[in-house]
Amino acid sequence: MKTNANILIVDDDRDVLETARMFLKQEFSSVDIEEDPEKIPGYFEIKDYDVILLDMNFKKGVNDGEEGFYYLSKIRELDPEVVVILITAYGEVDLAVKAIKNGASDFVLKPWKNQKLLGTISSALELRQSKKQVAQLKETSQVLAKETSQEYEDFIGNSAAIKQVKSLINKVAKTDAEVLILGENGTGKELVARAIHNRSSRKDEVFINVDLGAITETLFESELFGHIKGAFTDAKQDKAGRFELGSKGTVFLDEIGNLSVPLQAKLLTVLQSKKVMRVGSGKEIPVYFRLVCATNMPLYDMVYDQQFRQDLLYRINTVEIRLPSLKERIEDIPLLTEHFLKLYKRKYQKPKLSIEKGVIEKLTRYQWPGNIRELQHAIERAVILSDQDIISTVDLLINNAALVKLEQGKAKTLDEAERDFILASLEANKGNVTKTAEILGLTRTALYRRMSKHGI
C-alpha cells in the first residue's frame, strides 16, 4: 500500500528525475518532478508538499552549492514546515552539511541506492509530521489563550425542563451527530456545547468557540478557513482557520442565525466536503471536527422568509436541543442564586455574605428577561455593593420600576412587564443602549429587537 505523501523532486538532470519518479511512484501517492527551480513556487500554489528533494547545483560548471542554498531559503519561506532533502555529489558533502545547518533535514549522494533513498524519505516524512503537529499545537494554544477563563460547570437545577436537557446531552454526546442548540440569550447555550464536548470521545481534544455575531463578513473566511501569507494586506504570515485548528475536536458556532445567505453557502460547502481552503491558497485541507451550533433566532421562520438556507438547517440539526428560559424553570432560581453567591463570595473575598430567604422568594416572582446571565450579573452586583453580611433587600439585586410594581401586586401581562422593565432600565442608564444590554445580559441586537417589539 502506498504512503499518502506529496513528493517534489527538483534537479536539472532529466534522467535523474525520471528514474527517481519511477521508483518513488511505487511507494508514495504523489511524486512530481521539475528541472527548473524557478518554477517551485507554482507547485506550492496547487499542492501541500511533504518532502522536497533538491539538487544543489543547476548551472553547468557550477558546483559551489550557492544555488542550493538560495532555493532552500525560498522553499522555507513558502512553507517553514516542509522537509528538504538535498541531492549532492560525493565531493559536495561539506556543502550539504552546511546546508543542513541552514534548514535542510538530510542529504543523499548521487548515484543513490534505492533503499537508502527510501529510508531517508521515510525519516523525513516522520519529521514533517512532527513539525505539522508542533505548528498546529502552537496555533491552537494561541487561540485557546484568547478564550475566557470562565469556569464551565454542569447545569444547576432540578426542574423537569433541565432534566430533559441533561438527558439529551448525555445521549447525543456519545455520537458525532451535529447538534443545534436553540434558546434565548443568557440561557446557557455555550454551557450545553461544552457539556456535549466534555462527555464525548473528543473530550481530550480542543473545543473551539466561534461567535459568528462578532465576525464581520470580510473576516469570515480568514477566521474560519485560515489564510496564507500575502493573501491580503494584513496577512503577514500563514494562519490556520478555526475549522483547521479544531479538526480533531469540537467547533461551536454561536449565533449562526446572524450569517448572511452568501456566507451560509460557503459554510455548507465546508460541512459537506469536510475540506477547507485557506484564503489565497488553492490547496484543500481535510478537516474532521464535530459541529455544534446555537442561535436565539427563529431559524425555521427565517427559512420560510428565505433568510436562512433550508439545506444548511437540515445539515446542522441532526439533533436539536431547546433550552428553557429562566421564567420556565423558576424552581431552579434558589439553587442558581446559591451557586452564583458562592462563586462571587470567593471571588470578592466576602465569605460571610448570605441572602435572606425572603429576597430569594421575591427573585422567583421576577420575569428575568436576560435569563441566567441576568441573574448571574445581579448576584455579582449585589455581592460587590453589599456593605453588610446579609443581603436583605431585593433592590440591591434588581433596582428597577418593573420589580417595584410587581411587589406592589399589580397584575401585568408578560409583555407589559417586559416593556416596563426595559423602559426602567434604559432610564436608569440614561438611554445608553450598550450599557443597558450588558446589564440585562442581552446583546445590543437582541435588545433592539425587544425595543422594536414594544414600540420603544
Per the DSSP assignment, residues forming a β-bridge with 226 are 240
For domain 3-133, give the CATH number.
Answer: 3.40.50.2300
- Least-confidence region, from 26-40, 108-122, 162-176, 254-268: 108-122
pLDDT score at 151: 41
Asked if CATH classification 3.40.50.300 holds for the domain at 160-322, the reply, yes or no, is yes
Amino acid present at 380? E
Residue 147: per-residue pLDDT: 46
Task: Say if residues 306 and 193 touch (Cβ distance below 8 Å).
Answer: no
| pLDDT band at 322; cut points 50, 70, 90 | very high
Whether this prediction's pTM lies above 0.85 is answered by: no
What are the respective helix, strand and coil percentages of the chain, to the nearest 5? 50, 15, 35
* One-letter amino acid for residue 138 of the chain: K
Domain ranges in the chain are 3-133, 160-322, 327-453
Q: How far is CA 119 from the centre of its chain?
A: 38
Q: 138 falls in which pLDDT band (50, 70, 90)?
A: low
Backbone angles phi, psi at 409, to 5 degrees: 85, 15
CA–CA separation, 33 and 11 (whole Å): 8
pLDDT of residue 148: 39
Query: Can you tell me whether residue 31 is helix, strand or coil?
Result: strand
pLDDT at 149 over 60: no
Rounded distance, CA 50 to CA 43, Å?
12
**Does the fold of domain 327-453 match that of domain 160-322?**
no
The pLDDT assigned to 78 comes to 86
For residues 430 and 436, the answer to whether their CB atoms sit within 8 Å is: no
Please return the burial class of 343, using the count of CB atoms within 10 Å of its CB with bins 0-12, 13-18 and 19+. Answer: middle
68, 86 in Cβ contact below 8 A?
A: yes
Residue 325 carries which DSSP code? P
Instruction: DSSP for 130-160, please give it.
Output: HHHHHHHHHHHHHHHHHS------PPP---H
Return the residue matching grid coordinates 441572602. 355
Rounded to an integer, what distance in angstroms lies between the CA atom of residue 262 and that of residue 312? 12
Q: Distance between CA atoms of 355 and 342, rounded to whole angstroms?
A: 11
Give the C-alpha separation, 328 to 333, whole Å: 10
Q: Which of helix, strand or coil describes residue 265?
A: helix
111 preceded by cis ω (within 30°)? yes
Q: What's the pLDDT score for residue 130?
A: 73
**Distance from C-alpha of 269 to C-alpha of 101, rounded to nearest angstrom:** 43
Residue 244 has pLDDT above 60, yes or no: yes
Could you give the angle at the alpha carbon of 260 between the alpha carbons of 256 and 261, nearest 5°? 105
User: Which amino acid, residue 312?
Assistant: L
pLDDT digits (tens, 9 = 90+) for 71-94: 888 888 888 778 898 887 765 667
**Range 327-453: architecture per CATH:** Orthogonal Bundle (1.10)
